[in-house]
Amino acid sequence: MTAKTEETTRQIVATVREFVQREVIPAAAKHDHEDSYPDELVDQMADMGLFGITIPEKYGGLGLDHATYAMVFEELAKGWLSITGPIGTHSILTYAIQKHGTEEQKQAWLPDLAIGRKRAGLALTEPGGGSDVAGIQTAACRTGDEYVVNGNKTFITNGKHANVFMLVAKSDPSAEPPHRGITAFIADKRSGFTAGRELDKLGYRGVDTTELVFDDYRISTDRIIGGKEGRGFYQVMEALETGRINIAARAVGVADAAFEAAIRYAQHRNTFGRPIASRQAIQGMLSDMATKIKAARLLTHDAAVRKDKGERIDVEASMAKLFASEMCAEVTLDAMRIHGGYGFVKDLPIERYFRDAPLMIIGEGTNEIQKLVIARNLLKRYAI
């Protein structure tokens, strides 16, 4: 990273941190309790250029690296996890277009995506399952110069508020192996494509998570990402590497917020005449929490830097996502234990951190799948 890049990173991270303190934290509890979409905050993020963090400057984006991308997500999540959702899912499509799209697709879509005029989502997970991407059932049947799409998606972040999606569908049901029959499209909302039921979630509230319905939705062949059928599986799996980086960064942010609240509380809460921070049991918890957070941050940074170097990071991104998300669940629970009864009531954000933490364990591929990804690729690396 050059001195100029480092200065740019410091400036944008500081700007995001100030935005979180000034705008996000004061509004988070209300949006979380009411499960209301934070339109005003999302619009401000668009004005800040956060919808185009990694989109090259020539297409209207900030052109920043994935290391900065991860820092931005950490800062946002530290204020309120849900505010990361609209740009997290958005970045999956922008990455896929940047990396695999034709030049015509880049020029047509990236400028509006970079400034948030168009807001994106990922139409991947289906009611029958999410981890088995090759087994998706949404069908894209070719008719002349277009495809007719039928099927349902679910657990779609920004499903209501996004207007363009990376749609992953089966274009060749007879392909062997099945993943070669998967094609990814740039699909905008119009006739035949609607957002269905909004899901009522434990945490990650405020940002919409919905079902999507495709009913004889027609999409032209020029919307195939990269212009060639059958490459969607590889395109979405690579794009999900960036998703796992931002999920890991989100987990670090939520955990760090919980830790900071816990260490402050431990120094103010007195029992039997002295602060609970002086108790060895509490000190052990705090030291473990801080150590785990730092380790997760370093894993996330390593994956991001390797991504910027153009390396395959299926192992590194999965390691970061796996460790950081499990760490976040542990740290938020420990923060609640340190707060005692006060951590269990909605007067403080501790219970929200605890409710939000499981999302990172499930999102962008469950941790059980991450372990398989890590093991399979390690066996390839160390084949004898």
CATH number at residue 76: 1.10.540.10
Do 90 and 165 sit in the same domain of this protein?
A: no
Give the range among 84-98, 121-135, 367-381 with minimum mean pLDDT: 121-135
Residue-number span of the structural domain to which 210 is assigned: 120-230
Length of the chain: 384
pTM score of the predicted model: 0.96
Provide the pLDDT confidence category of residue 285 given band limits of 50, 70 and 90.
very high
Structure tokens at 242: 């960036």
Checking if the pLDDT of 37 tops 70, the result is: yes
Distances (CA, A) of 143 to 149, 171, 218, 302: 11, 11, 9, 45
- Segment 313-326 shows an average pLDDT of 98
Do 273 and 345 sit in the same domain of this protein?
A: yes
Helices (H), the chain: 3-19, 25-34, 39-47, 66-79, 85-100, 103-114, 232-268, 280-308, 314-339, 350-362, 367-381
* Domain final residue pick, 207, 230, 253: 230
Do 190 and 240 sit in the same domain of this protein?
A: no
Distances (CA, A) of 321 to 87, 244, 324, 364: 18, 6, 5, 9
**The domain spanning residue 175 has which CATH number?**
2.40.110.10
Do 258 and 368 sit in the same domain of this protein?
A: yes
Distance CA 365, CA 132 (A): 10
* Domain final residue pick, 114, 139, 169: 114
Do 261 and 346 sit in the same domain of this protein?
A: yes
Checking if the pLDDT of 65 tops 60, the result is: yes
Look-up of token digits 């509890």: 29
Do 107 and 24 sit in the same domain of this protein?
A: yes
Residue 128's pLDDT is what?
87
Q: How many domains does the chain have?
A: 3
Question: What is the per-residue pLDDT across 137-179, written as a single tens digit (0 to 9) for each?
Answer: 999 999 999 999 999 999 999 999 999 999 999 999 999 999 9
Considering only CA atoms, which of 358, 357, 331 is closest in space to residue 262?
331
Do 212 and 159 contact (CB within 8 A), yes or no? yes
Do 225 and 269 sit in the same domain of this protein?
A: no
Checking if the pLDDT of 21 tops 70, the result is: yes
148: how many CB neighbours lie within 10 A of its CB? 16
The residues annotated with a catalytic role in the active site are 364
Structure tokens at 13: 């991270």
Residue 4's pLDDT is what?
57
* Domain final residue pick, 230, 259, 289: 230
Do 215 and 291 contact (CB within 8 A), yes or no? no
Do 179 and 108 sit in the same domain of this protein?
A: no
Do 204 and 286 sit in the same domain of this protein?
A: no
Checking if the pLDDT of 129 tops 90, the result is: no
Question: Which residue(s) pair with 220 in the sheet?
Answer: 146
Do 330 and 375 sit in the same domain of this protein?
A: yes
Question: What is the per-residue pLDDT across 217-258, written as a single tens digit (0 to 9) for each?
Answer: 999 999 999 999 999 999 999 999 999 999 999 999 999 999
Do 248 and 215 sit in the same domain of this protein?
A: no
**The domain spanning residue 266 has which CATH number?**
1.20.140.10
Do 264 and 377 sit in the same domain of this protein?
A: yes
- Residue 288's Cβ-count burial label (10 Å; 0-12, 13-18, 19+) is middle
Distance CA 78, CA 265 (A): 17
